A and B are shown apart, each in its own frame.
Chain A
Amino acid sequence: MTPILSVRDLSIDYRTRRGPVHAVRDVSFDIAKGETVAVIGESGSGKTTLAISLIRLSPRSAKIVKGQILYTGASGTTDIRTLPEDELRAFRWSECAMVFQAALNSFNPVINIWEQFVDTARAHGMKDPKIVHARAEELLDLVRLDPKRVLRAYPHELSGGTKQRVLIALSLLLKPQLIILDEPTTALDILTQRSIIDLLAQLKTALGFSMIFISHDLSIAAELADRMITMYAGIVVERAAVTDLFYRPRHPYSVGLLRAVPRVSGVIGAVASIPGSPPDLIRLPPGCTYVPRCPLAVAACSEREPDLVPVDTPDHDARCIRWRTVAEQVGTAEVAVVEKIVV
């Protein structure tokens, strides 16, 4: 089946006075219909740059220097990169919606929630207020809010969790097939975060849309993702099914990220931070960019940037010439990496 989104060799630079920042380099991945893909990595790994470029909301200083963003909808396949402005506007919201990190500030503060729905609907040709009202009520029901109370409310009258629910409802207004979520639960309290995670899981099952999740929080990826992409210094270093990435990672950076997160359940295990910091994206070191921080690096790692090669299974790729050594260390058991590594 044709994937709903197919990103091919995408490279994005930011123009700066010091020279171009290579924020995203040669990124390729597919998302199938109904699938949830989580992109993980530290800040500066390029994950947010990648996400916002998918709906061409990047700042002016960003330039897509190469690649394709192929979206397949009811009317065939189009390259988002070459879409004219009017078609792009139609594509946003009606095919692909985005819920941002700073979601809690995404509302217009001087109009109530009902008017936010009307504004969005009108911009996309839904002019009959009766239809909009019926749809808004249906969506607010879906996100477990009381439409009568919420539609009349102004953004400042709602709690953070309620605002995030309204925003998710609003993003579903035009029945998009793909939703991009950038750190959707970061600013929320634990119990609210839990309710948003559960809500997204239910909506995904009920409505069958695809999701791209950008998060530095691995636990939310563990909850919701079908597949995972690890990014480092602008490139994809590993691609795998969620259980493979969590239990059988093959790139040392994925292992490093997994070990950096303390847990509440189970043994504390071999948690440790990743030493050092990400490289300067203007002057990238030759070879694998993870070498200065990598516990397994050998001389050959600095010679040329490794290719993304299949490991273990055809659906699991890693960009590391030492992946077999990683495999020996973490094995194949369905057990968290922090429990398997002995220090």
Chain B
Amino acid sequence: MTIVRPQAIERPLIELDQVSRTFKVPDGTITAVDSLSLAIGSSEAICIVGESGCGKTTTGRMLAGILRPTSGRLRYEGQDVWAKKGHELSAFRRAVQLVHQDPYASLNPTRTVFQTLAAPIYRHKKAKGGRDATNRVRHLLEVVGLAPPDDFLVKYPHQLSGGQRQRVAIARALTVDPRVIVADEAVSMVDVSIRISLLNLLLGLRSEMGVSIVLITHDLAVARYFAREGRIGVMYLGRMVELAHSEALVSDPAHPYSAALIAAIPEADPRITRSKDRVELRTAEVPSLLALPAGCAFHPRCPLAEPGLCDVDVPALLPLPGTAGREVACHVAIRERQPAAELLA
């Protein structure tokens, strides 16, 4: 079977190939991410969404090379990252930057904005001398919308708002000229009123500097806005269950779990939100990662589940027949050649 992929990722910049990651916990071993593959192209804006415990943060940390997969490969420009050493490895570490969720915790409270941004510039020899470094810091502050920059150079994190801190954290990621930024819930902790401007800032880095951005979020509305020209991947209990173009995913979800999520989201529109069609799940209980059900992990809750099929084999993420570049891990949707949203209607 030939796999249809969007053009941008025929030659991926960064790629997870069948990666799994397990963690030892007091009661046993959990598989936080299981056999996940994801190829990301240059200057792509992609979102990974899912509820807590789905493995989205672990996936982001593996992409950023912070967490080593238990099995599978992380490739950057076609080369196995964990086989790299020395200069090659540090080049990868500069190329892929992680922006954390909590701007209150990720900035050193005893350092001014200038000190925070100048340190990596000096360490990675991105400037020739002090004046050049200062100019570079000023430029970065302008790029992230902290203008005029001289107002911010000598500020400490506690003198900044949550949104401003997150902009400093993004500026810090930019000091080393990255090609990929992994932003884990980067807008969740800032006030609703300023989230869009932060998302626009990240999107601007993509269009103006060609940086690929992987936004990890639990909020599908944020994902849709951010990836409106790109793809969204939906994770459930360690697996990618759907990967599709953002508009296709929100208007016609192919996996029953995506369909349930989209139906459940309240909307800031009383008429729409009070008349939304619901997807009734068979149970509200989420299985424990310590005791995942056999077959498809979603089958105990899934309204489309078929005994003898869904509780036996784990469905692979496969192209949905008749669609362009949509992939879904659902036996029923693949067999019926239809998105789950239509099968549930």
Contact = CB atoms under 8 A, between A and B. Distances in A.
Interface of A: 42-43, 159, 161, 189-195, 197, 216-223, 242-243, 246, 256-258, 260-266, 268, 271-275, 277, 334, 336
Contact of B196 (A195, A197, A262): A262
A331 B193 CA distance: 23
Contacts, number: 120
Given A191-B51, A191-B264, A243-B270, 6 more contacts: A189-B51, A189-B52, A218-B192, A221-B268, A246-B268, A264-B262
B167 to A, nearest CB: 12
Contacts of B286: 159
A306 to B, nearest CB: 21
Contact of A263 (B193, B218, B260, B269): B269
Interface stretch (B97-105, B175-183, B219-227): B219-227
Contact of A161 (B225, B268, B281, B284): B284
Which 3 pairs between the two chains have the least Cβ-Cβ distance? A273-B197, A194-B264, A219-B266
Interface of B: 51-52, 161, 163, 191-198, 200, 218, 220-222, 224-225, 228, 250, 260-262, 264-274, 276, 281, 284, 286
A260 B273 CA distance: 17
A334 B271 CA distance: 8
B265 A336 contact: no
B340 to A, nearest CB: 15
Nearest to B200: A273
Contacts of B266: 193-194, 197, 217, 219-220, 222-223
Contacts of B163: 277
Nearest to B224: A264
Nearest to A334: B271
Contacts of B265: 190, 194, 219, 264
Interface centre among B265, B267, B268 (most CB of A within 10 A): B268
19 contacts: A190-B261, A194-B264, A194-B265, A217-B192, A219-B265, A219-B266, A219-B268, A243-B270, A258-B268, A260-B194, A263-B221, A264-B220, A264-B262, A264-B265, A265-B272, A271-B225, A273-B193, A275-B197, A277-B194
Contact of B264 (A190, A220, A221, A256): A190
A243 B271 CA distance: 8
